Amino acid sequence: MRPVIAAELVNGAFGDPVLYLDFRDAKRALLFDVGDVGALPPRKILRVTDLFVSHAHMDHFAGFDRMLRVCLGRGPRLRLYGPPGFLERLEHKLAAYTWNLVHRYPADFTLQALEVDPGWSARAARFRSGAGFAREPLPEAHCAGGVLLDEPAFRVRAAFLDHGIPCLGFAFEEKAHVNVWKNRLAEMGLAVGPWLRELKCAVAEGRPDDTPIRVRWHDRDGAHERRVALGELRLRALQIVPGQKLAFVTDVRGTAENAERIARLAADADLLFIEAVFLAADAAHAERKHHLTAAQAGCIARAARARNVVPFHFSPRYLGREDELRAELERARTDKPTHREMPVKDSMPQFGAPDPELKNSSIIDEVEYDAEAVTPGLETETPACYFNGEAFALGECVRSGSEVLQCAERGVWVRKGERRPG
């Protein structure tokens, strides 16, 4: 009943940029930028397998020391990715300490770093605690299309942006994933178990419907095994959900070229984290500091068609005035006045009845809606609701006939009453 992936801006909108992407089921996390990480407990730091650094300004890289401190002697490996000059910066950071005893630590903590250039050639190096963190060159790599990390479940892509210096923006793209309705499995006389992993792989690989799946589980009566066709499981107990896309963009100048590159990187993102450092009234200052205004961030988010936008990296000069930054971004994004308490848009998409041939999220009455307890059979959940195959973000409304439906947490439509067209 929890999202598979949870994204947390560790220091909120005003603090150092740090985005923690938690794969809760896998006890694993990705980190985007490593400013002050004092708010991250060691157990969360130890989960980080990959660290993506936009650029080495201090507010984005100073937390590396704390990570190293936590991981030393404990973590097996951390992979890092950064812009030109990154390997030298990392090497110098490591050279700032004395390492005469670390080779005795039981765990040989290894940093494996990749530094990309705008043609996507990547220099790579390794730094092991067992070797006193001396730099060991690794073979050069090529990150075609800016893809820094490609795994069966997701990929992370970068784009080169201009911040007066080269700065990387990142997009995390989950591949399609499979939700399992436990209650429907139970109706089929099956129980959950590790076999679900095999099933999910078979779906991800696009295996044909007649592929037999070995369903195995243990209970009080001992071990059970059945063979069920993939097609039957797909039809009766699975929901295939398109992957989520999340983008992280910070420290960029408000130029047309940056806007275009970001819009491409973050195209159709479910969630866009984007800096909105200054108000448009202070645009000259933003230009001098090579940062975006909230209005520029909003225009970029609109061009990217991002479904949800989280602005951050607010200048401390606006402490107590963050509503102004958010409102400016929203105005530029929607090009209309904002109604903070009213997420219902005037131009609510109008649908007829749900078409059974298309993907639709379940619809429930508002009185039935309990954010903690809806769709009890669904193993995982989606950050979106579907109506006739179209995805809508949390909080968005559609009209089905004269009924207004609002997308609520856990991807269900909640009936919000009636509204006559017009």
Asked if 50 interacts with Zn ion (CB under 5 A), we say no
CB-closest chain residue to Zn ion:
57
Asked if 261 interacts with Zn ion (CB under 5 A), we say no
**Contacting range for Zn ion; rule: CB under 5 A; set: 5-13, 204-212, 244-252, 352-360:** 244-252
Taking the least distance from each CB to Zn ion, the nearer of 161 and 412 is 161
Taking the least distance from each CB to Zn ion, the nearer of 158 and 237 is 158
CA separation for the pair 356, 328 (Å, rounded): 40
Give the gyration radius of the chain's Cα atoms: 24
Asked if 89 interacts with Zn ion (CB under 5 A), we say no
One character per residue 9-48, x = contact with Zn ion (rule: CB under 5 A): ----------------------------------------
Nearest alpha-carbon partner for 367 in 312, 421, 298, 416: 416
One character per residue 306-335, x = contact with Zn ion (rule: CB under 5 A): ------------------------------
Taking the least distance from each CB to Zn ion, the nearer of 57 and 177 is 57
Asked if 59 interacts with Zn ion (CB under 5 A), we say yes
Nearest alpha-carbon partner for 24 in 37, 46, 45, 6: 6
**Contacting range for Zn ion; rule: CB under 5 A; set: 179-187, 222-230, 246-254, 302-310:** 246-254
How many Cα atoms within 13 Å fall on the side-chain side of residue 186?
7
3-state secondary structure of 303: helix
Nearest alpha-carbon partner for 407 in 300, 285, 289, 307: 307
- Provide, rounded to whole angstroms, the least separation between the CB of residue 80 and Zn ion: 18
Tell how strand 110-116 and strand 77-82 pair up: parallel
3-state secondary structure of 66: helix
Asked if 57 interacts with Zn ion (CB under 5 A), we say yes
Taking the least distance from each CB to Zn ion, the nearer of 255 and 338 is 255
Question: What's the angle, vertex CA 159, arms to CA 158 and CA 165, rounded to 5?
Answer: 115
Asked if 251 interacts with Zn ion (CB under 5 A), we say yes
Q: What is the DSSP letter of 106?
A: S
- Provide, rounded to whole angstroms, the least separation between the CB of residue 250 and Zn ion: 6
**Contacting range for Zn ion; rule: CB under 5 A; set: 3-11, 55-63, 65-73, 198-206:** 55-63
Taking the least distance from each CB to Zn ion, the nearer of 54 and 380 is 54
**Contacting range for Zn ion; rule: CB under 5 A; set: 49-57, 353-361, 377-385, 398-406:** 49-57
CA separation for the pair 178, 199 (Å, rounded): 9
Sign, Cα dihedral of 232, 233, 238, 240: negative
Sign, Cα dihedral of 344, 348, 353, 354: negative
Q: Which residues bind Zn ion (CB under 5 A)?
A: 57, 59, 251
